[in-house]
Structure 1
């Protein structure tokens, strides 16, 4: 399986780019834009079939979009003047993963817990409870262990939530999207390289269509 990482640097002066990046619905806009870079006719759950994950990152030079996929995107489908885009294969990095290797990681995720029916009834809780602070950090510790990582250091930051309508027309336009977001950064040791490869492609947690779940890693100079 080939895995591609594409960095898109939108030009905020471009009308289409400014629309995609602006407002509370930017995650939905970016989902539509980035999915437009892939072939039509994939069928249901095209995002998962194409392994599409993305993350918007604020940098000193503006917003950058990181797009990961198992199919090379056609960046020529971006509107004229949208910005710059470069794709490169991730396979050399994935092939180099091994147990005991120290890595730096970053992941923007939507940490939640799903209390059982008895607990929900006793405390009046919803079916899905958003987590933040220490509870979100504990969630990440469990997730990273399940990814084949042993966390060494962790810094977390709660980000603005994702809000918007799922679609533009019909029933989808009436469906509200609402996800909390936390960014997790730190260092870890690889405990299971094959499991980590699988999770890097699959993504972590919920809201993968809307900019959550992309786990990025790079070799670390030291374990700490």
Structure 2
């Protein structure tokens, strides 16, 4: 299975891109926009069918959107002059992963825990509790290990919570979404390359439909 990584640099003059990237419902708008680039009419979840994961990054040159998918997207389905779009295969990166190499990583994730029923009742907790601070870092350490990585350095940076309605019409228009986010950056050593490839394709944690879970790696050059 080939994975594709698409980099979208939105045009500052695009009203559509400005709306997609602005506001607390950014992840919901981008979810809808990213799926526009894939065929209609699939059964079940289109995100799952095409393996779509994405995130919005702030860079020194301005915002960009990274999109990972199991099918190359069709940028012609974006609004006119939405931005510059480049797509490349991840085959080379994934095939060169092996145990022991060290890589820089980034993942915007939704660190949460599900309290047991007894704890929920005793402390009046919701079914899912968002994590922050050291608890979020510990969550990432566990997620990294189960993804075949040994984190060597972790920088956890909280991001704005995604809030909004799931859709515009019908039942989705009445369903509110609230997804806390933390951006994890750092370096890690590969422990299990096969497992890591699986996790890169599947994504990390919850909230994948709304801009969480995309793990990107940049292997560091080994000194000779």
**What runs of 5+ residues in structure 1 fail to find an aligned partner?**
none
Shift >3 Å, 4+ stretches: none
* 1:68-109 per-position Cα deviation (integer Å, ceiling 9, x unaligned): 000000011111111110000001100001011111110000
Alpha-carbon offset, residue 14 of structure 1 = 1.1
Q: What is the aligned partner in structure 1 of residue 111 from structure 2?
A: 111
CA RMSD of aligned residues (A): 1.1
Q: What is the aligned partner in structure 2 of residue 140 from structure 1?
A: 140
Q: Provide the secondary structure at the position in 2 that maps to 1:88.
A: strand
Hey, what's the Cα distance between the residues in 2 that align with 1:133 and 1:173?
33
Cα pair distance change 1:182/1:122, threshold 3 Å: same
Counterparts of 1:167-178 in structure 2, within 5 Å, are 167-178=167-178
Counterparts of 1:67-78 in structure 2, within 5 Å, are 67-78=67-78
Hey, what's the Cα distance between the residues in 2 that align with 1:132 and 1:28?
22
Comparing 34-43 with 130-139, greater Cα deviation is found at: 34-43
Hey, what's the Cα distance between the residues in 2 that align with 1:40 and 1:185?
35
Q: What is the aligned partner in structure 2 of residue 210 from structure 1?
A: 210
**What runs of 5+ residues in structure 2 fail to find an aligned partner?**
none
Hey, what's the Cα distance between the residues in 2 that align with 1:220 and 1:120?
44
Comparing 141-150 with 37-46, greater Cα deviation is found at: 37-46
Alpha-carbon offset, residue 30 of structure 1 = 0.7
Q: Provide the secondary structure at the position in 1 that maps to 2:23.
A: coil
Comparing 108-117 with 7-16, greater Cα deviation is found at: 7-16
Q: Provide the secondary structure at the position in 2 that maps to 1:204.
A: coil
Q: What is the aligned partner in structure 2 of residue 66 from structure 1?
A: 66
Paired positions, count: 223
Q: What is the aligned partner in structure 2 of residue 45 from structure 1?
A: 45
Q: What is the aligned partner in structure 1 of residue 81 from structure 2?
A: 81
**1:158 maps onto 2:158 in alignment:** yes
Hey, what's the Cα distance between the residues in 2 that align with 1:23 and 1:137?
26
* 1:141-191 per-position Cα deviation (integer Å, ceiling 9, x unaligned): 000000000111111100101011001011110100001000001111111
Comparing 6-15 with 135-144, greater Cα deviation is found at: 6-15
